[in-house]
Amino acid sequence: MTSPQTPDNARRKFIAAAGAGVAGLGFTAIAPGLHLMAVGEANAAPTPRKAGEPANPAVRWGLLIDANKCAPGCTKCIDACHTENGVSANLPDPRQNSQWIRKIELVDRRPGKTRGHVTQLPMMCQHCAEPPCVDVCPTGASMKRADGIVLVDRHTCIGCRYCMMACPYKARSFVHAPLNDQNPEVPRGKGCVESCTLCVHRIDKGQQPACVESCPEGAMTFGDLNDADSAIAKRIASVPTTQVRADLRLNPGVRYEGL
């Protein structure tokens, strides 16, 4: 299996040949006031991907979440995600509603000084480098994009829910009822499994995931884990961070600080 870190040489050569000028043009076109200088700063916006252009295998998108900054009672990231992706919670049995992102409250029960300490954090698809959901999917509908984003192809998902059995993060939801008023950029479907897409449609437009943008505390950092100069990679290199269920060695793309 090709690891997400493995560079696609042909693709790299093409990008190099395209030249910095073109890249710069593309970059400045994202949003006024955003320059190449911004790369390396917190939450740099990604380079937009043109239609028909494959995802860049040299990149691995990830999130760093600072649990210390995650405010109790705040659900802005959840609201933003569910608005952006058209996820609603209206079924009589709440356990059947989709939740692409949720707030988890942890109370430390380990002996020691931190016992009783309460931590909040958002939990979503961890975009593993070795995703069990992708391994178990019979049709290959669960897949990892070249830039590390784990997605479900809604055209080939048969709704067997084996991926939900395999995911250690309870990150996936099954669409239990017919859907209305969908966001055209985020197709969903009854009978299919879904989960956080890292707002892939926004990333491809050069924007950040909706949850990251909405966090008033700046608790979430988005960026390229493979780029040593990115804010996320620098932060991960400088402070202790946690991978949830690190014992499984799935190498998640979402990391936590302050746990």
Partner 1 sequence: MFTPKPRQEENLFYLLAAIGGLVSAIGLAAALYMEHEGHVVTGMNNQIVWGLPHVVAIFLIVAASGVLNVASMGSVFGRVLYKSRAPLSGLLGIAMLSGGLAIIMLDLGRADRIIVAMTHFNPTSVFGWNVILYPVFYAFVGIYLWTMMERRMNPYSKVAGLATFIWRIILTTGTGSIFAFLVARQAYGSALLAPMFIIMSFSWGLAVFIVVQATMYAWNGMQLPPLILQRMKNLLATLVAAVLYFTAVLHLVSAYFAKQTAFEYFILVDSEFSGMFWIGQVLIGSLLPLTLLFHPATRAKVAWINLAAALVIVGAFFQLYVFIIGGQAFPLEMFPGYDIKSSFFDGTVDHYSARLPEILLALGGVAIAFTMTTIGVRALHFLPQDDIAELEAAIRITD
In the complex, what is the shortest distance from the CB of residue 223 to partner 1, in angstroms, rounded to a whole number?
24
Using rule CB under 8 A, residue 178 touches partner 1: yes
Using rule CB under 8 A, residue 13 touches partner 1: no
Residue type at 27 in one-letter notation: F
Closest by CA to 49, choosing from 201, 241, 222, is 201
CB atoms within 10 A of CB 160: 15
Closest by CA to 192, choosing from 151, 233, 223, 240, is 151
Using rule CB under 8 A, residue 72 touches partner 1: no
Cβ(245)–Cβ(169) below 8 Å: yes
Of 5, 88, 156, 182, the one binding partner 1 (CB under 8 A) is: 156
Of 85, 173, 197, 207, the one binding partner 1 (CB under 8 A) is: 173
Of 30, 86, 160, 235, the one binding partner 1 (CB under 8 A) is: 160
| d(C-alpha 212, C-alpha 227), whole Å | 19
Of 2, 52, 72, 110, the one binding partner 1 (CB under 8 A) is: 110
Q: 107 or 237: whose CB is closer to partner 1?
A: 107
Cβ-based burial of 187 (10 A; exposed 0-12, middle 13-18, buried ≥19): middle
In the complex, what is the shortest distance from the CB of residue 116 to partner 1, in angstroms, rounded to a whole number?
10
Of 190, 216, 229, 239, the one binding partner 1 (CB under 8 A) is: 190
Using rule CB under 8 A, residue 85 touches partner 1: no
Question: Considering Cα of 257, then 251, then 129, then 24, what sign does the dihedral take?
Answer: positive
| d(C-alpha 153, C-alpha 138), whole Å | 12
Using rule CB under 8 A, residue 241 touches partner 1: no
Residues at the site binding partner 1, with contacts judged by CB under 8 A: 91-99, 102-110, 119, 123, 132, 134-141, 156-162, 164-170, 172-178, 189-193, 244-245, 248, 259
